[in-house]
Amino acid sequence: MASKKSGGKAGGRKTAKKTTIDTYNPHLGEPDIKPKGWLRSHEWFKREDRDGFSRRSWMKNQGRAAHLFDGRPVIGICQTWSEFNPCNSHFRILADYVKRGVYEMGGFPLEFPVTSLGEVILRPTAMLFRNLAAMDVEEAIRANPMDGVVLLVGCDKTTPALLMGAASCDLPTIALSGGPMLNGRFRGGTLGSGTSVWKFTAQLKTGEITQEDMSEAEACMSRSPGHCMTMGTASTMASMVEALGVGLPTNAAIPAVDARRTALAHQVGRRIVEMVKEDMRLSKILTKQAFENAIRANGAIGGSTNAVVHLLAIAGRMGVDLTLDDWDRLGQNMPCLVNLMPSGEYLMEEFYYAGGLPVVLKEIGHLLHKNALTVNGKTIWDNVKDAVNYDEKVITPLKKPFKPQGGIAVLRGNLAPDGAVIKPSAATPKLMKHRGRAVVFDNLKDYYERIDDPKLDVDENCVLVLRNCGPKGYPGFPEVGNFALPAKLLKKGVEDMIRISDARMSGTAYGTVILHTAPEAAAGGPLALVKSGDIIELDVKKRTLHLDVSDEELAKRRAAWTPPAPHDTRGYVKLYTDTVLQADKGVDLDFLVGKSGAKVPKESH
């Protein structure tokens, strides 16, 4: 195709000559000026030269017919299937349905594996590897011949990891969640993933149930493929996908094994090809408005505190200025409408049958940026305005909310200068304003060694403090912030106490739990300076978290403090601990913030 020449002198200075499709050297990467209809996959497949021959020839060993290399859009299906990740165990089936849709619309689907993160399997914690997976996704997208991407996401960290990686590439992208497991059923009752585990663990400590009861409940809780079916982190992040507009409507709640989940996958395959033709990139969807909508939605569903760090990290990749204060501002006075465990009674199956996230978004429509664009080409309001609520016990109307306060509250004070978070809907109302004596555990080992010691000097008015469980400290920012209460208090019938840590909490957990305290103890945050016996004051209404110790005394303690020894001197753990950002910044690695796009890299042959 004829090209428009550019370059020459500008303002007396020589500028680099722009390359066109006719003049550039394919070994040096992407041409500056592309002909109409150019796709990045053309640089691999639509070339009549040695490299075009090689690329097509090798790909044909999979039985691919010649017409698939005629320049049609190539859709990468980013696959997180793994037998080590039970929540995503059905993803090869989903990928097949995505492929159907892609083929129907004249695209060429190619599935590729990336690091999968099984939340309950990975040690020391899946969160340590979220950024590693995001790097894997980003580099895999950029290095391969794809024009659009479908992200298959499910288990907690797979959703943010894939969105972060894709955001840094900014191709047309749709996220497809795997859907929740069927409800757990046990001895005539309902079991919720995670939430029931915390309950059983406490009941085992008090002798209310036996080890045999626990064993029987295992298979009853996890009855099908899919992610945790409480409003834990996976369901929250699936809802965030829908509220951000980066997934199709109804993405959040269709059960994993419901036929409508595979039908949705089919639709995703069709739509992503259209998105490539429309050049509808992620940056058109993931705007500040979209993030604000998602934060509102998180409040209305009583979503996980983990969404805070994940959305901050995704926004950081997109270059969207999102802060902890946005969470507090938008979450304040946001009622929780969804009566789901861990805050409530029901599970994701009932949520779907009641109408799912579209009903919630319609209910809070006056608080949303209604014109935010979504991946189906419509606005968020167009997608939800006709939603019908089929069960007001599960999704309550705004005028009669399930809980008056659903958002995430951000606390600050001399104990958390860069912020800490609490989920009021999962907390005990009478503890939201409290003054108590600190009982400090220096790390998780110290906690396990002493928590059930009958001689531990603790009562129900104390404030339990656990430190060195943050991003650098553990390392990896584990979900231990909802640590169990002392056995002797559980036996007395105490159900909740204030707990403060620099850790995260499982989205399936509950309690008056203050999390993500920043800076963390291992980074020299004030949490490192607290001593047992100090007085701590919490006032959620005023958003304060205060350590009642004088500045002079804190300065003395700081002078005597030494940072913990590094966890490792090599490998990913070293890279992570050297570069990880604190909780208020999303816990990304500092050099991964931002995006590099998906320019075609140079050749190597």
Which residues are near ligand FES by CB under 6 A?
87, 119-120, 155-156, 193, 227-228, 232, 234
Q: Which is nearer to ligand FES, 227 or 296 (CB)?
A: 227
Rounded to 5 degrees, what are φ and ψ at 150?
A: -110, 125
Based on CB atoms, which residue is closest to ligand FES, 507 or 526? 507
What 3-state DSSP class applies to 421? strand
Least distance from C-beta 116 to ligand FES, angstroms? 10
Residue (20 or 158) nearer to ligand FES, CB: 158
Position 273, amino acid:
V
Strand segments, DSSP code E, in 326-462 are: 409-413, 416-422, 433-441
Nearest CB to ligand FES, comparing residues 82 and 293: 82
- Least distance (Å) between residue 375 CB and ligand FES: 23
Comparison of 162 and 234: residue with beta carbon closer to ligand FES: 234
Q: 216 and 186 in contact (C-beta within 8 Å)?
A: yes
Tell me the C-alpha to C-alpha distance, in Å, between residue 110 and each of 133, 153, 175, 222.
19, 17, 16, 31
DSSP, res 586: T
Q: How far is the CB of 327 from ligand FES (least distance, A)?
A: 22
Q: Give the nearest distance from C-beta 248 to ligand FES in angstroms.
A: 20
Name which of 234 and 498 has its Cβ closer to ligand FES: 234
Nearer to ligand FES, 126 or 387 (CB): 126
Residues paired with residue 149 on neighbouring β-strands, in sequence order = 76, 173
191 backbone dihedrals φ, ψ, rounded to 5°: -115, 135
Give the shortest CB-564-to-ligand FES separation in angstroms. 29
Q: What are the b/e assignments for 186-225, b being 16+ CB within 10 Å? A: beeebbbbbbbbbbbebbebeeebeeeeeeebeeebbbbb
- Shortest Cβ 63–ligand FES spacing (Å): 34
Q: Taking the complex as a whole, how short is the minimal distance between the CB of residue 443 and ligand FES, in angstroms? A: 24
Alpha-carbon distances of 305 from 20, 116, 177, 272, 552, rounded to whole Å: 49, 22, 19, 30, 34
Q: How many CB atoms lie within 10 A of CB 21?
A: 18
Smaller CB separation from ligand FES, 232 or 419: 232
Instruction: Output the smallest distance, CB 85 to ligand FES, in A.
Output: 7
Buried (b) or exposed (e) across 107-131, using 16+ Cβ within 10 A?
A: bbbbbeebbbbbbbebeebbbbbbb
